[in-house]
Amino acid sequence: MVLSPADKTNVKGTWAKVGNHGAEFGAEALERMFTSFPSTKTYFSHFDLGHGSAQIKGHGKKVADALTKAVGHIDNLPDALSELSDLHAHELRVDPVNFKLLSHCLLVTLALHLPADFTPSVHASLDKFLASVSTVLTSKYR
Amino acid sequence: MVHLTGEEKSAVTALWGKVNVEEVGGEALGRLLVVYPWTQRFFESFGDLSTADAVMKNANVKKHGKKVLASFSEGLKHLDDLKGTFAALSELHCDKLHVDPENFRLLGNVLVVVLARHFGKEFTPELQSAYQKVVAGVATALAHKYH
């Protein structure tokens, strides 16, 4: 799957609209994922997963910052996400199915907060972008 | 069978009461065809699906989206027996339409995204969770008679 120039424009445009709500949206997406897909909580047994948890907020910011980096290096995701890719492969070892669950919750969060901007084309571009990021993060698993 | 608490069932029904089935159905099916273009394979007779705009404005897409969501609405009235409710439709999708059940899961998730877009903060994490169970249940019920 290849991101077209239009996809890249859509992704960058959306991320600009996210502005400094990245951490907040990241945390919300995580909370939605934990609530809708309880099996994802198994990776966070060391976290307080209650609503408003400082740890979820902190982790939401981490996720958002990584996505910001990805958006900024959208022409070379493997390079930009190489360290994160190593981390997921050798330390975190999150089963690949979970990337789809978080990606879905990120889309829900963005659709909710940016309803007018979340057109069908933008929706498609974001889905492709998150799938590309997920592919890179699981690329060194075996 | 979907395991929703009484509270979840009420919340799901309450939100659904505010849904414009025609509009949301058309939008959900349209977005499915735009975001996952390979799903267009089932709709070659629908006319122009060449751009996102064409898909979303396509009268056949809107009509079919309404049909699909009306059926989903019916399912919401029978959350304790989705398999029974969708038995005939399941056979149809297997024997006549030859639709891979993965498509039901894709459409279910697109519907959740559309509901989030329409309802904003009202679509809380808990309400999303209830709807994820419902769409998963409907997808499973539609796949149940496959052979």
Check if A32 contacts B (Cβ < 8 Å). yes
In a domain, B127, yes or no: yes
pLDDT at A1 over 90: no
Tell me: the pLDDT tens digits for A11-32? 999 999 999 999 999 999 999 9
pTM over 0.90: yes
| Minimum Cα–Cα distance from A100: chain B residue | B109
Whether residues A120 and B31 touch (CB distance < 8 A) is answered with yes
Give the per-residue pLDDT at B54.
Answer: 98
In a domain, B25, yes or no: yes
pLDDT at B16 over 80: yes
Check if A49 contacts B (Cβ < 8 Å). no
Check if A52 contacts B (Cβ < 8 Å). no
Number of domains in chain A: 1
| Minimum Cα–Cα distance from B126: chain A residue | A35
Q: Which domain holds residue B56?
A: 6-143
pLDDT at B1 over 90: no
pLDDT band at A68 (very low <50, low <70, confident <90, very high): very high
| Residue B93 Cα distances to A1, A4, A10, B77, B86, angstroms | 28, 34, 35, 21, 10
Whether residues B125 and A32 touch (CB distance < 8 A) is answered with yes
In a domain, B1, yes or no: no
pLDDT band at B131 (very low <50, low <70, confident <90, very high): very high
Check if B120 contacts A (Cβ < 8 Å). yes
Number of domains in chain B: 1
Give the per-residue pLDDT at B47.
Answer: 97
Residues A95-109, mean pLDDT to the nearest whole number: 97
Check if B117 contacts A (Cβ < 8 Å). yes
CA dihedral B99, B27, A60, A57 (to 10 degrees): -120
| Minimum Cα–Cα distance from A104: chain B residue | B109
Q: Which domain holds residue A70?
A: 5-138
Residues A113-138, mean pLDDT to the nearest whole number: 98
Q: Whole-angstrom Cα distance, residue B2 to residue B83?
A: 10
In B, residues 57-96, which contact A (CB 8 Å cutoff)? none
| Minimum Cα–Cα distance from A111: chain B residue | B117
Length of chain A: 142
pLDDT band at B20 (very low <50, low <70, confident <90, very high): very high
| CATH, residue A60 | 1.10.490.10
pLDDT band at A80 (very low <50, low <70, confident <90, very high): very high
| CATH, residue B29 | 1.10.490.10
How many CA atoms are closer than 13 Å to the CA of A62, on its beta-carbon side? 8
Q: Whole-angstrom Cα distance, residue A60 to residue A76?
A: 23
pLDDT band at B50 (very low <50, low <70, confident <90, very high): very high
pLDDT at A82 over 80: yes
Mean pLDDT of chain B: 96
Q: Whole-angstrom Cα distance, residue B100 to residue B43?
A: 14
